[in-house]
């Protein structure tokens, strides 16, 4: 039987939404005319989900490969259409892996697995959006 997920979202006025799941909250905003805004836009939250899923997946797979990883950062950049719906057309993931002696081949293998079979957010987005990934190692 498939597992179930649930999120409750409540409109807070203007273009603000607060979503709750399992006791955690995420505030999203969609500021009009480049006004401030108090939270991420929904598309930024989607990119954050991709960064979190792919970053955690990479960390897990590198740990299983006994790599001496001290930290992982994920930078995500995306392009979106000007016409409605203003969907994302291209996403670039850059992974920064910190550690002494982390093997490039281990990172490349882990990223290939993350994309192909492990990270569900990546798997959901890639049929409709071009996603590229790159990495660099910061030696400690």
From the CB of residue 24, how many other CB atoms can be counted at a distance below 10 Å? 8
Can you give the CATH number for the domain in which 107 is found? Answer: 3.30.300.20
Write out the two tokens for 2: 């498939």
pLDDT confidence of residue 140: 82
pLDDT digits 0-9 by tens, 22-76? 999 999 998 776 667 788 999 999 999 999 999 999 999 999 999 999 999 999 9
- Residue ranges making up the domain that contains 21: 1-39
Same domain (yes/no): 120, 58: yes
pLDDT digits 0-9 by tens, 95-104? 999 999 999 9
Measured between alpha carbons, how far is 31 from 86 in angstroms, rounded to an integer? 15
Same domain (yes/no): 98, 79: yes
Same domain (yes/no): 73, 34: no
Same domain (yes/no): 109, 123: yes
The number of folded domains in the chain is 2
Same domain (yes/no): 95, 34: no
Same domain (yes/no): 82, 29: no
Partners of residue 18 on adjacent β-strands: 10, 27
Measured between alpha carbons, how far is 25 from 18 in angstroms, rounded to an integer? 7
**Cα dist. 101→68, 69, 98, 138, 140 in Å?**
7, 9, 9, 10, 8
Same domain (yes/no): 47, 100: yes
pTM over 0.85: yes
- Residue 49 sits at φ, ψ, to 5 deg, of -65, -45
- By CB atoms closer than 10 A (0-12, 13-18, 19+), residue 117 is exposed
Same domain (yes/no): 60, 12: no
């Amino acid at each position: 039987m498939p597992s179930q997920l649930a999120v409750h979202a409540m409109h807070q006025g203007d273009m603000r939404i607060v979503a709750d799941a399992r006791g955690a909250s995420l505030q999203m905003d969609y500021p009009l005319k480049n006004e401030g805004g108090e939270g991420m836009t929904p598309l930024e939250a989607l990119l954050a989900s991709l960064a979190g899923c792919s970053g955690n997946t990479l960390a897990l797979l590198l740990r299983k490969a006994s790599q001496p990883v001290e930290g992982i950062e994920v930078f995500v950049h995306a392009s979106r259409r000007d016409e409605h719906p203003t969907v994302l057309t291209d996403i670039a993931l850059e992974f920064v892996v910190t550690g002494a002696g982390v093997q490039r081949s281990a990172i490349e293998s882990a990223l290939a697995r993350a994309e192909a079979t492990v990270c569900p957010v990546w798997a959901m987005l890639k049929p409709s959006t071009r996603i590229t990934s790159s990495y660099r190692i910061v030696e400690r």
